[in-house]
Amino acid sequence: MNPTMTMAELNRARRLLCALQDSIRDALVAARVRQAATFSRVAAVTAADTIYQVDRLSEAAIMAWFEAYWPRSWPVELVMEGLADGEPATFPRGTPVARTRFKCILDPIDGTRSFMYDKRSAWSLAGLAMQRGAKNHLGDIVVAAMTELPTSKQWRADQLSAVRGGGVIAAAVDVRGGGRKKITVRPSPLKHFEHGFASLARFFPEGKGLLGAIEETLWKELGVHGKNGGQLVFDDQYICTGGQLHELIVGHDRMLGDLRPLAYAKLGFSSATLCCHPYDICTAMIAREAGCVIEAPAGGALRYPLDTTTPVAWMGYANASLARVVRPALRRVMAAYL
């Protein structure tokens, strides 16, 4: 943590990120009433992802919010999908990147596909690091916030935030009237997988066979596959990294991971497409503050650059005991398949 940033400043930054995401959530909830039918139109295809019309709405809300509310004494660089390639976005407008104090990496809507079809909540994600230019990586994030973007039938939207070393602050927001109350979140303390949710990401047709074989072999290595007649581990493909982290943080899932970049490289697909990127997992610190283990597939810290294009492979465990059980088995399976 940068010694020039006090705990009071860190908490102020946390509250600002939460306020930003409140505005994104509220703008999207209101827009859905007026123009939900246009959400799924493709607006652009970038190196980071496919941009849908609903993404454009959130991007506009972000720019307006930073212009109006971000402290001018805290010059910041924004990193997010949807910005013009090679064009830095800084606030106050026109501030050279070299003179910014912070770098803020955002995913305005993580889980766009589920949200635009009103199928499942998406998440707005943001992480803040002290500016270090090209040297910045995920480990530099000291403040993070994630806010649920609910489906139309939901009245409650969760919001989780953290300052490094300060634990998780969690709230449930009533999107009907704006009421807010504190909630307690706790990852699963269980040290086994039986009768629980755990899975690896295989959201798209590409790589599904290889990823499925890896996961099935992993369960065999762990002695769960076929035990007592089988069907002891449940699968849930939540199509967004923020949503996956939330499931770990609140105790719904015991293990989640994303090996798609490794599988795609093995299969000869572009490793930068259809997978997790640093802006998708910029809130991993919140999960760690809750007690989860979020790491590279073979173990070790995630040190990916703060950008929107680098492919990220990761594993998440509800607790350290599960990580110790899985880690050596996963290494063996990856050596065999990848």
Q: How far apart are the first and last CA of the chain?
A: 36
Residue ranges per structural domain of the chain:
7-182, 196-337
* Portion of the chain with pLDDT greater than 90, in percent: 76
User: 336, exposed or middle or buried, with CB in 10 Å at 0-12, 13-18, 19+?
Assistant: exposed
Task: Please tell me which residue, 116 or 308, carries the higher pLDDT value.
Answer: 308
User: 338, exposed or middle or buried, with CB in 10 Å at 0-12, 13-18, 19+?
Assistant: middle
In CATH, the number for domain 196-337 is 3.40.190.80
Using alpha carbons, select from 129, 144, 103, 159 the residue that is nearest to residue 289.
144
Q: Would the pLDDT of 243 be above 90?
A: yes
Q: How many CA atoms lie within 13 A of 315 on its CB side?
A: 25
Residue identified by tokens 């139109």 is: 41
Residues 82-111, mean pLDDT to the nearest whole number: 88
pTM: 0.92
Would you state the pLDDT for residue 1? Answer: 40
Residues 41-63, mean pLDDT to the nearest whole number: 64
- Token duo for residue 44: 């652009």
Using alpha carbons, select from 95, 12, 105, 117 the residue that is nearest to residue 62.
105
Residue identified by tokens 């295989």 is: 202
Which residue type is seen at 111?
G
Q: Three-class SS string for 219-265? A: HHHCCCCCHHHCCCEECCCCCCHHHHHHHHHCCCEEEEEECHHHHHH
Euclidean distance between CA atoms 288 and 286, whole angstroms? 5
Would you state the pLDDT for residue 2? Answer: 45
Q: What is the pLDDT of residues 187-225, one digit of tens each?
A: 999 999 999 999 999 999 999 999 999 999 999 999 999
CA dist 290 to 51, 86, 99, 248, 282, Å? 32, 36, 33, 9, 15
The answer to whether domain 7-182 and domain 196-337 are alike in fold is no
Under CATH, domain 7-182 is a member of which superfamily?
Fructose-1,6-Bisphosphatase, subunit A, domain 1 (3.30.540.10)
